[in-house]
Chains A and B, each alone.
Chain A
Amino acid sequence: MPADFDPPTIDFEQLVQPHRVHRRLYTDPQIFGLEMTRVFAASWCYVGHESEIPEPGDYRTTTLGLRPVLMTRGRDGGINVLLNRCAHRGTVVAGEERGCAKRFVCPYHGWTYSPDGRLVAIPFPADHPAQDYSTLSLGRLEAASYRGFVFATLNADPEPLDCWLGEAREALDTIIDRHPGGEIAVMGSPQLLEFAGNWKLSWDNAADGLHATFAHHSYNTLGETVDVETVLARDPGSTPMVSKALRNGHMVVDQRPGIPQGPWATMRDVPFREPLESTLADAGAAELLDLATGSMLNLSLFPNLIFVGNQLLVVEPVAVDRTRLQLWLTSAPGAPPEIDLLRLRVDEDFVNFGTPDDLDMFERVQRGLSIPEMEWIDMSRGLPDDSTADGSVYGPITSEAPQRRYLAHYAELMTTPAKTRAL
């Protein structure tokens, strides 16, 4: 079966040029519809973390390119990623966001599935001609974990996950390994923020080192009032921070070279900071405080996972002009409890005083892009790109190379659709 039923009538090479992209990428419902298969179904997408489903039968629901998806832990301890759609009439089988179930029973007609997706019972089986239930399982996605992070794809011939991550693995390892014992876990309920804009606006923003000076001016000023130079307050034109545009649309902004005194020194006075800080200091573990704030390594794994602060920001497209951001807070199970207690307050800080600026900018851009007579979005800052042998581009954080590179990858996916299918 083809990846989608729509012939490739749109010339994406025309819409995505080296120095500019067309507004239609952000406003055209037909393009959005194609993206849900050619980008989201055909790529590896993050679906969840193994720590969220520790016991057999545990499950969590999410979406993958609008498709309702179910991540479960089977009786054998293995992770399954399934299409949350009854093989009978198409009913969404698991309605809760998370839970633990020995069986998934469709609420409509009682078809019953095991946590690994196999159909195990149909009520009144004598009336049903099916002899072989194996053809009536829940649809299954190819799934793979990288150190606890679960990705899934509907691509019929996917690149192995390790290869797909490629050079981004180095940053991912750094983020995981800063946790004692390499143990990182995901806390239960995410923040869910919506904006009236296209999902790629959050992607354009993820490795944009320049916007912080302007869009987050108020956050930087708030930092100045308590004599703290927030990491965003530094001059983006002269900082040694580095941006990297990697293969497959992945992006890294490495802020560490710009903050030699360590991340904690950039943190504002969050609630209950002092008592927790002094408890750690009394125990001779003040060095661990850097763990309470982010790695200062912003990693974006195209198309739906962004590591920022101690949060996993999952980009969930809803419509061409509507996007939901899931913000999952990570914890450090191997660290003293003060670290997670601080993380809770630390990550609220930017979400309350920085993220609203981003949400507002996304909506302003979407409104501006509604103007048909103004067709193009300029993305030329930092050209020409100086690529390495593997196609990566390194540069100052003011460069728009990450945006150019992910959009070039996007154009490839849209121009040459991969075959997709459920297992």
Chain B
Amino acid sequence: MTVAAAIPPEGPSPEASSDQAAVLARYDELGELLAGMDDRPPADPELWGPASAALLHEARLLDAGRFEDWLCGWTDDAVLWVPLSSPAHPGTDQSLLLDDRRRLAERVEWRRDPSAWGQQPPSRTVRIVGGVEAWPAPGGLVTRSTLLIDEHRHGRRQQLAGCQIHELVGDGLRRRTKILVVPALGTGVRNPSFLL
């Protein structure tokens, strides 16, 4: 059977099913969070302390290679998204990655695999988090911060700068959403598999 013949004459899904709609709703949420960031009012200074503590803790875990501990800080409906440009939409634009909780777990497993040559030997990184801003959001808060990652591997060094957006929820400020925007991805970077 050809591909064209396999499409039912009435079309596959005139009304998006609730399954598909849920995916699109999450994608829209991500796209809007990214697109609306620059229009936000000045941040809430009272949230700066807890937001900074959460972001610095994450950076410390990643730099220390404590990926299993880092994984524990995500919610079950988590998404880590690294678009290639901004603005972007996860349902129409190619991304470097968009991980759900399952693929985040696989990523941690991959980082532990001695034959994952792209990270063996592993990158050594130093993350410098700055410019932290935070706003209240349903169930927690939304933050924007700048990030400089100094990466060293195989005797070579690269520095990537960007900004990161976090949606942190619940008493433990667990990560529900993280969007990492690195402009250099639009011009070419070397093996970006250390980017988390």
Contacts and interface: CB of A to CB of B under 8 A. Distances in A.
Nearest to B105: A225
B16 A192 contact: no
A282 B95 contact: no
Which of A285, A324, A341, A356 has the largest count of B CB atoms less than 10 A from its CB?
A356
Contact of A356 (B20, B90, B99, B119): B119
Interface string A235-279: 000000000000000000000000000000000011110111011
A336 B118 contact: no
B25 to A, nearest CB: 11
Contacts of B22: 275
A368 to B, nearest CB: 13
A103 interface: no
A363 B154 contact: yes
Contact of A196 (B95, B107, B190): B190
A347 B8 CA distance: 26
B116 interface: yes
Contacts of A271: 79, 98-100, 102-103
B38 interface: no
A361 B120 CA distance: 11
Contacts of B17: 275, 278-279, 282
Contacts of B11: 283, 336
Given A338-B20, A356-B118, A195 B12 contact: no
Interface in A325-381: 327-329, 334-338, 341, 344-345, 347-348, 351-353, 355-357, 359-361, 363
B45 interface: no
Contact of A341 (B23, B100, B185): B23
A190 B94 contact: yes
A189 B13 contact: no
Given A192-B189, A353-B110, A187 B116 contact: no
A415 interface: no
Contacts of B97: 348, 351-352
Contact of B118 (A191, A196, A269, A360): A360
A143 B133 CA distance: 51
Contacts of A188: 93-94
A181 B4 contact: yes
B117 A279 contact: no
A225 B123 CA distance: 24
A83 interface: no
Q: Which bucket holds chain B's interface residue count? A: 35 or more
Nearest to A367: B154
A282 B12 CA distance: 8
Nearest to A332: B3
Contact of B4 (A180, A345, A360): A180
Which of B17, B26, B107 has the largest count of A CB atoms less than 10 A from its CB?
B17
B13 A193 contact: no
B53 interface: no
A205 to B, nearest CB: 13
Nearest to B8: A284
B118 A282 contact: no
Contacts of B119: 356
Contacts of A227: none
B115 A217 contact: yes
Give 8 nearest A-B pairs by CB, closest first: A356-B118, A275-B19, A283-B12, A218-B116, A192-B188, A336-B12, A271-B100, A356-B193
13 contacts: A189-B84, A192-B187, A192-B188, A196-B190, A215-B117, A282-B13, A284-B12, A288-B3, A345-B98, A348-B95, A353-B110, A357-B116, A360-B117
Interface of A: 178-181, 187-196, 215, 217-218, 221-222, 225, 269-272, 274-276, 278-280, 282-285, 287-288, 291, 324, 327-329, 334-338, 341, 344-345, 347-348, 351-353, 355-357, 359-361, 363
Interface of B: 1, 3-4, 6-8, 11-13, 16-17, 19-20, 22-24, 26, 79, 84-85, 88, 90-100, 102-103, 106-107, 109-110, 113, 115-120, 154, 156, 185-193
